[in-house]
A and B are shown apart, each in its own frame.
Chain A
Amino acid sequence: MDFVEFLINRGDDMLELGLEHAAVVGASVLLATIIGVGLGVASYRQPRSREAILAVTGAFLTIPSFALFILLIGPLGLGFLPVVVALTLYGLLPIVRNTITGLREVDPAIVEAALGMGMSRGQVLRQIELPLAWPVIITGVRVTTLVLLGIAAIGSIVLGPGYGDLIFTGLARVGTPVAVNLVLAGTLGVVVLAVLFDVLFYVIRKLTTSEGIR
């Protein structure tokens, strides 16, 4: 069967899987952003906790994804949940690291001026430091998204949603003519999603970054 024909036949499937894939990655990125920025904000001014947090979030990335998904079956079962948890853990490092870098790169003179004008620590963080670090933070979020789009496909082994389904079905049928088409379609789906997310981040970054620091 011709690949294009295959895609047209499976059009509905492709769309549905794409939405699932985007949803699971989107949810994980959101969680990783909330936790990652939180950890970054909490630790960027204390060298010791900063190093510890970077070490731990970095360690997550070294766990083979296959293994982590399977290990999570015990506590979390199958489906959406273990995938989101695993992806969130994998997604932390780029976000935490960029949050810390972004906040530490803010010119100390600007912070001193803000404090000197009578802003509280919290006001300085919200009104000055985070907006200035934002372009760096959102770059971290974008990297996380791209990494997670790929890893999410493997979540299919714990019956997670998304294009992994096509890839693993293809894997199960290696040798049959449809197998290559299945794997190709799954891969293509992930690549298309990656491009779409990239465009999305470009737009978000543009809209949320002050003209003064662009």
Chain B
Amino acid sequence: MTPSNSSPAGTPGTGKVMIRLENLSKRFPGQKTDAVSNLSLDIYEGEIVVLVGPSGCGKTTTMKMINRIVEPTSGRIILDGDDVTTTDPDALRRRIGYVIQQVGLFPHQTIGENVATVPKLLGWDKARVAARVDELLTMVNMAPETFRDRYPKQLSGGQRQRVGVARALGANPDVMLMDEPFGAIDPITRDRLQNEFLRLQREVRKTIVFVTHDIDEALKMGDRIAILQGPSQIAQYDTPEQILTAPASDFVSDFIGRGASLKRLDLSHVSDITLTQWPTVRVGADNAELLDVLRRSDKGAVLVLDDAGRPRRWVAPDDLDRHPGSPLDQIGLVPEAVVEPHATLSDALNELITARFSVSIVVDAHGVYQGVVDIDQITDAIRSMRAAAVARARARFTEDPAGTPVIGS
């Protein structure tokens, strides 16, 4: 059922299966069909797995079966090697952090008391609970002195979401379940919370099951994405890169929507590609040197760098004629399309489209010139990503012609 060729290479996990869902089904009382039918899925330790799919396809139901808020009708749940399908649900839930879409803070308790819920249930002593509460609030960027004694109604929506996350991290569970945790907030705050959460995850390395219906959120948050296509089918279970470059079916392509290649560029960084060099001179160079550099290249202008190596101006022969004798850093054009290596290719593309010589200048953290990115490099990158993804998909298919790996049923 579950092929073994599913090594999670290229993702941050350890490769150990943390949660295994085996042929899980759920039929709600009084329903004629299964909400989730015979679903199998392996979730690796330390990864964020995103369940995504159209409304009503069973994402929430699948997630809630993991902590048995919804009891499966059949199938097995294996957590860290233990079969927990029929064990004490309260004990199971204390091992699993849970963030629901509506946040569900307890309105009659202070923020501190809310965050202390699980540690208190586990019987920690007062001092240890208090220290943990402060630590957790700090972790989610909420100053404990300011917020500890407030009530949920005294917080903004985004602050409540953070407290919800802190509360779920209460007793440092290995596993977190998050159902649209950043659902009902404005796009700017959502983006900030997502980034904060990804930063936090780099520190805490939890195994996270994350539900969303937003493919862009899935691509951003997921180390691996399961696209659900209705109660009994996982359309694809793969890394965001693979899903974008080698969608397993028309359903997946449709679900990703237009612009998959552009979205793919969000997942690669300037540091992943080899930069091109542009002719440069130092600020102190004379006209002859500049013209010489230019003559030996096929470009129409040189990039003038200051003494520290930082880009200062684009200077073309015209500029020399127009301002004879002026210092090089006072003529020509100020370079605007400047990106750092951690920028995404999509950022670089966005910059270079409007830039003077159709290139983005890449500088390091100190602003020192490293090279440039042009449109050809970006199309090359897209082409090689696609080739690699297709090769990977084909390799898996020959090993396991029955279907996409990791998924049974």
A-side residues, CB < 8 A to B, are: 107, 109-110, 112-120, 123, 128, 131-132, 210-213
What A residues does B231 contact at CB under 8 A?
none
CB distance from A209 to the nearest CB of B (A): 8
What A residues does B104 contact at CB under 8 A?
107, 109-110, 112-114
B-side residues, CB < 8 A to A, are: 67, 69, 90-94, 96, 98, 100-110, 117-118, 121, 151-153, 167-168, 170, 177
CB distance from B131 to the nearest CB of A (A): 19
- Known: A212-B151, A212-B152. Contact between A116 and B108, CB under 8 A? no
The reply to whether A113 and B98 form a contact with Cβ atoms under 8 Å apart is: yes
The reply to whether B93 and A110 form a contact with Cβ atoms under 8 Å apart is: no
What A residues does B100 contact at CB under 8 A?
109, 112-113, 116
What B residues does A113 contact at CB under 8 A?
98, 100, 103-106
The reply to whether A116 and B98 form a contact with Cβ atoms under 8 Å apart is: yes
18 further interface pairs, Cβ-Cβ under 8 Å (given A119-B117, A210-B108):
A109-B104, A114-B104, A115-B69, A116-B69, A116-B98, A116-B100, A117-B98, A118-B118, A118-B121, A119-B90, A119-B121, A120-B90, A131-B108, A210-B151, A211-B151, A212-B109, A212-B110, A212-B151
Q: Which one of B94, B102, B106, B107 contacts A118 once the chains associate, using CB atoms below 8 Å?
A: B94
Which 3 A-B pairs give the minimum distances between C-beta atoms?
A113-B104, A212-B151, A118-B94
Smallest CB-CB separation from B101: which chain A residue?
A: A109
Smallest CB-CB separation from A135: which chain B residue?
A: B108
Q: Which of B93, B103, B110 has the most CB of A within 10 A?
A: B93
Q: Which one of A118, A128, A131, A132 contacts B93 once the chains associate, using CB atoms below 8 Å?
A: A118
CB distance from B163 to the nearest CB of A (A): 11
The reply to whether B69 and A112 form a contact with Cβ atoms under 8 Å apart is: yes
What A residues does B105 contact at CB under 8 A?
110, 113
Complex Cα spacing A123 to B109, Å? 15
What B residues does A128 contact at CB under 8 A?
106
CB distance from A113 to the nearest CB of B (A): 3
Complex Cα spacing A213 to B110, Å? 11
CB distance from A208 to the nearest CB of B (A): 11
Smallest CB-CB separation from B98: which chain A residue?
A: A116
The reply to whether B93 and A116 form a contact with Cβ atoms under 8 Å apart is: yes
What B residues does A120 contact at CB under 8 A?
90
CB distance from A74 to the nearest CB of B (A): 47
Complex Cα spacing A111 to B322, Å? 75
Smallest CB-CB separation from A210: which chain B residue?
A: B108
Smallest CB-CB separation from B121: which chain A residue?
A: A118
Complex Cα spacing A210 to B110, Å? 9
Smallest CB-CB separation from A119: which chain B residue?
A: B121
CB distance from B153 to the nearest CB of A (A): 6
Complex Cα spacing A132 to B108, Å? 7
